[in-house]
Structure 1
Amino acid sequence: MAMDEDDTAAAPLLTSRKAKPAKPPSIDELIEACIGDTGALQLLRAVLVAFAWAFDAQQVFISVFTDAEPRWRCAGSAGSNSSCTPAAAAAVPCALPGGTWVWDRPARTSVVSEWALQCAGPALVSLPASSFFAGCLAGGFLLTTLADSLLGRKKTLLVSLASMSAAGVLTALAPNIWAYAALRFVSGFARSVVGTCTLVLSTELVGRRWRDVVSVAAFFCYAVGFLSLPALAFALREASWRSMYFWMSAPCLCYAVLLYFVAQESPRWLLVRGRTQEAVQTLRQIASLNGSSSTATTSFSTLHACSVREEAGASGGGVFATLRMMSARPWAIRRLAAIMVAGFGVGMVYFGMPLSVGSLGPNLYLSTTYNALAEVPSAVLSWLLMARADPRASVAALAASAGACSLACAAIPRGAGAARMAAELASFLATCAAYDLILIYAIELFPTSVRNSAVGLVRQAMVLGGVAAPALVALGRERSVIWSFGVFGLAIGGAGLFAACLPETRGRTMSDTMKEEEERNEASCTSTTPIAKHGGRDLV
């Protein structure tokens, strides 16, 4: 009798141990099994997608040359022109009588000289650049969810590239400053999702092992695009500023046509959207390039049987359904808020530092080259840190280093030019690495169903920081560098601390749905603290 009671008492425990069902393979595991090891041809296709960042960089920084105010000099000889004395020449040219001074180069080389904006005031002269960033903000908030909902990664990228190229070609035909500013707004609007779609699509086309490599390849492509600007501007230094826009936009349009025929849609996005047949066709194509088509039959059969259910309302809720899905989950909002705050501080310094250092020397082409070269070691550093270190600690450490160097710039006296220059470059290099890491980290923090939207919002936070930077730079020039470098240092140092609130992602697979991410984090919390129970509301 006692034995029967003991058996009865033990039975539920034994049953509970055996009743735990085996966890089905995730989409990430199935895709890895289908495509096999990423081969050289598929990796090359992913890098080709990443090259879109080169054209993105060109559109961001082209106004450094097209909107620059050229140098000028007094007309005639010093003795024959009494109105243009050396003292008067130190002032702005609009303070001198007409005909007493001339531009050093043809007026067509800059919008300022062609449309006589030297006396128009800073508001009008900076209007095209401000319009471009305003377009980036508007486009980011309105278009960022299209790649997660209606169009997908590839179509959104192609439409953005084509629209950006067309706007650039039309900009070369602008008849006045108002049309020019309007077309720069359109360029910014179209360009707003290029970087996000490129980064997400390129990393979703390769296996887990190569994601960091492809991400860093995109950052290298950005540096290449940045470096190409001073080279092309120097080659066209006597030509019209319109030539710059044409030669930056026409190749981008050709690249978009090439991408249409070469690039594949993200198989992850196709599966999450329930388009299994298209996903299988894409995976077979990738597997064929990787040389593993004959060994993945079982995996493809499993994938055919796999039913991926989207969160309620995702398929029919419009382009903002992904944002509603995140807002309904406090853990997602906390993650998004923390990384957006970190991105805001990093973006303020990333876009503001070149404006404040702007002149590493009197030569505009050389100064821009120095700024662009800082992107190269930062890409290598971000790759090493992403592969070997905790991304939370890396972002926080880089932000603290950039902040300390920026504060050092404010403390170093003006006479120590070399020391100030070294501190500026060190701060910018650390900021570039933090910028790259935050974008890669954001990809790993959010599942496929909302990934493009989340990364797009993080980039918008960075652009918003860039919008605030010019005002600080102007204050720093007018009053004291405390207002520029001092505020930059405090902003990036404080914002970087928010990265420490985010979860660890190194070495783990990417989730595809919000439910899968919740289950994964709940299991992680349970394994870390087995006594306490964690619900979805407790996820970080």
Structure 2
Amino acid sequence: MIGAGVFGHLSDSFLGRKGALQVTCFLNAVFGLLTALSPSYWAYAALRLLSGFSNGAVGICSFVLATEPIGPSRRGAAGMSTYYFYSGGIAALAAVAAMFQSSWRLLYVATSLPSLFFALAVVPFFSESPRWYLVHRRPDDAMRVLRAIAATNGRHVPDDVALKLDDEDDEDTGDDNAIKKVEVQTSSSSGTILDAFVSRATRARLVLSVLIYFLCSVVYYGLSLNVVNLKTDLYVSVAVNSVAEMPSYLITTLLLRHYGRKPLAIGTMLLSGVFCTVASLIAGMGAMRMVRMACGVVGIFGISGTYNLLTVYITELFPTVVRNAVLGCVSQASQIGAILAPMVVVLGERVPFAVFGVAATIGGLLVFNLPETMNKPLYDTMAGLERGERESRTEDDGAAEKFEI
């Protein structure tokens, strides 16, 4: 929870997306390997605290780095596709944990080495986000990345195209051969979570995002941990839950381009809420227990789609200068939900499902208050977002006036 906020801010400021990801992955591996050498309980607890601090921002940094260069029409599909690896990792973890049941120390070594390999052998070959370069007033670096992306895709950025910051004076030389400049709305190098809260354009979005992500997290982590109440094999149940998430990513990705972020977020949360509520009403043993497990699988199918879709959605709701800071903030809310989830799970076999059903339903209803972002531009600054909001309202008012006439 602490690490998500700290590294979320550092990722928006001087570390950048790539730098923050490399640091967090490296620290995560080091603290994990040191945990395997813990000489006492308190050393173990301290190292787990440090591991959580470093691990808190790995997901948000990698997600933003992967999606910021993507255009509006493909951003949702690209963002959702990253989560196949998340669920695949959980399924792999169940298999690895089953192999090392006799030694928790070896389990920590086995689960820490991939992060070290990733930090040292993979991340150095990444490109920094061109949007991060832009808001830090480095348009030449941003264009270099864009040209490299174009070359990889077999395309070419014309030599007479350059990037222009919106606070630069626009000099009209009258030369038809002058360099074409693409205006980039950027006036500040970085922002904080306070900027997102102070701005009228993002304050309500921030509060709603935190509440929705918190409720979603309670349900997501709660259903994942609730396998202990199903009285089935722990390793098999974890693997089944992780595999159940994957179809939700595929279906959500396919529907995302046609129905938008908002309707899908509402639908998937309400789907999970309905089936969790049904599961809470099912009593008995034997076959009825399997029915309850099936309802739980559908519940995690729906909430996992929401959990990952919200990351795409929130990424598009906020400008580049505060994007990672906001994601860090909502990730903190998510971790609070993860902390509370085990306390709900121990309430019995049916009560947790009732709590998850109510939480998912409330979360789905709160999404109604967020704006749609499908095929909308990804803004870089607060000023750009506010201007875009004003233009959008003007267009809506004009359309309404024409309709009335």
TM-score normalised by the chain length of structure 1: 0.68
CA distance in 2, matches of 1:438, 1:187: 25
| Cα pair 1:342 1:497 within 8 Å, conserved | no
Aligned to 1:513, which of 366, 372, 381?
A: 381
Show the counterpart of 1:452: 324
Distance 1:256 1:324 in 2: 31
- Alignment match of 1:481 (pick from 328, 345, 350): 350
8 Å contact from structure 2 (residues 162, 182) kept in 1:
no
Alignment match, 1:117: none
Partner of 2:161: 299
1:147 is displaced (CA, Å) by 0.8
1:233-272 equivalence runs, <5 A: 233-238=97-102, 240-272=103-135
Q: CA distance change for structure 1 residues 307 and 362 in 2, over 3 Å: closer, same or farther?
A: closer
278-287 or 179-188: bigger deviation: 278-287
Alignment of 1:150-161 (within 5 A): 150-161=14-25
Match of 1:504 in 2: 372
Matches within 5 A, 1:1-80: none
Shift of 1:184: 0.8
Is 1:211 the counterpart of 2:75 in the alignment?
yes
Change (3 A) 1:310 1:390: closer
Which AA in structure 2 matches 1:187? S
* Alignment partner of 1:464 out of 336, 343, 352: 336
Shift in CA distance, 301/495, structure 1 to aligned 2, threshold 3 Å: closer
The aligned runs of 1:139-218 (5 Å cut-off) are: 139-218=3-82
Q: Distance in 2 between matches of 1:364 and 1:531?
A: 56
The residue aligned with 1:9 is: none
State how far apart, in whole Å, the 2-side matches of 1:343 and 1:454 are. Answer: 12
Partner of 1:289: 152
Return the alpha-carbon distance in structure 2 between the equivalents of residues 468 and 530 of structure 1.
47
C-alpha displacement of 1:302: 6.1
Number of matched residues? Answer: 385
Partner of 2:390: 522
Match of 1:43?
Answer: none
1:392 is matched with: 262
> Is the contact made by 2:88 and 2:243 (CA closer than 8 Å) also made in structure 1?
no
Deviates more, 1:265-274 or 1:383-392: 383-392
- Give the 5 Å matches for 1:294-333: 295-300=157-162, 310-311=186-187, 314=189, 321-333=191-203
1:417: Cα distance to partner? 1.3
- Counterpart of 2:313 in structure 1 is 441
Higher RCO (Cα < 8 Å, 6 or more apart)? 2
Question: Mind listing any 5+ residue stretches in structure 2 that lack a counterpart?
Answer: 166-178
CA contact (8 A) 2:261 2:372 kept: yes
Q: Give the stretch that moved more between structures: 423-432 or 326-335.
A: 326-335
Q: How far apart, in 1, do the equivalents of 2:123 and 2:297 lie?
A: 39
Once residues 289 and 401 of structure 1 are traced to their aligned partners in structure 2, the CA distance between those partners, rounded to angstroms, is 40
Q: Secondary structure at the match of 1:504?
A: coil
- Which amino acid is 1:157 matched to? L
Q: CA deviation at 1:390?
A: 2.8
Cα distance in 1 for residues equivalent to 2:42 and 2:211: 34
Corresponding position of 2:170: none
CA distance in 2, matches of 1:244, 1:284: 43
* Runs of 5+ consecutive residues of structure 1 not aligned to the other structure: 1-136, 316-320, 534-540
SS of residue in 2 equivalent to 1:300: strand
Query: SS in structure 1 opposite 2:337?
Result: helix
Distance 1:330 1:256, change over 3 A: same
Q: Equivalents in 1 of 2:399, 2:357: separation in Å? A: 42
1:227 aligns to 2:96 (yes or no): no
Deviation of 1:209 after TM superposition, in Å, equals: 3.7
Q: Aligned ranges for residues 129-148 of structure 1 at < 5 Å?
A: 137-148=1-12
Distance in 2 between residues matched to 1:184 and 1:349, nearest whole Å: 24
Cα drift, residue 142 of structure 1: 2.4
Distance of 1:394 and 1:228 partners within structure 2: 28
Mark the structure with the bigger radius of gyration. Answer: 1
Quick one: distance in 1 between partners of 2:100 and 2:302? 32
Tell me which amino acid in the other structure corresponds to 1:299. Answer: V
Alpha carbons 1:446, 1:511 under 8 Å: kept:
yes
- CA-CA distance at 1:336 after TM superposition: 0.9
Instruction: Measure the CA separation in 2 of the matches of 1:205 and 1:311.
Output: 20
Cα distance in 2 for residues equivalent to 1:361 and 1:292: 55
Greater CA deviation, 201-210 or 298-307?
A: 298-307
CA contact (8 A) 1:382 1:436 kept: no
The aligned residue for residue 362 of structure 2 is 494
RMSD (CA atoms): 2.2
CA contact (8 A) 2:282 2:350 kept: no
| 2:176 match | none
Once the two structures are aligned, what percentage of the paired residues are identical?
33
**1:376 partner letter:** M
Change (3 A) 1:407 1:462: same
Rounded Cα–Cα distance in structure 1 between residues aligned with 2:399 and 2:185: 32
Contact 2:5–2:325 (CA under 8 A) maintained in structure 1: no
Give the whole-Å Cα distance in 2 for the aligned partners of 1:441 and 1:301.
Answer: 27
> Residue 530 of structure 1: SS of its match in structure 2?
helix
Deviation at 1:528, TM superposition (A): 1.2
- Residue type matched to 2:62 in 1? T
Partner Cα separation in structure 1 for residue 214 and residue 388 of structure 2: 28
How far did 1:245 drift?
0.9
Query: Offset at 1:324?
Result: 2.8
Q: CA deviation at 1:433?
A: 0.7
Deviation at 1:402, TM superposition (A): 1.0
Q: 1:331 to 1:509 in 2, by over 3 A?
A: closer
2-side partners of 1:253 and 1:503: how far apart?
39
Q: Deviations over 1:110-135 (max 9, x none)?
A: xxxxxxxxxxxxxxxxxxxxxxxxxx
> Does the Cα contact within 8 Å between 1:145 and 1:452 map onto a contact in 2?
yes
- The yes-or-no answer on 1:374 pairing with 2:237 is no
Q: Is the 8 A contact 1:385 1:391 kept in 2?
A: no
Instruction: Spell out, residue by residue over 1:63-89, the C-alpha distance to the aligned partner (whole angstroms, 9 max, x if none).
Output: xxxxxxxxxxxxxxxxxxxxxxxxxxx
Deviates more, 1:202-211 or 1:263-272: 202-211
1:460-518 Cα deviation digits (max 9, x unpaired): 222211111111222x22xx733x21111111111221111111111222111111111
User: What amino acid maps onto 1:205 in structure 2?
Assistant: P
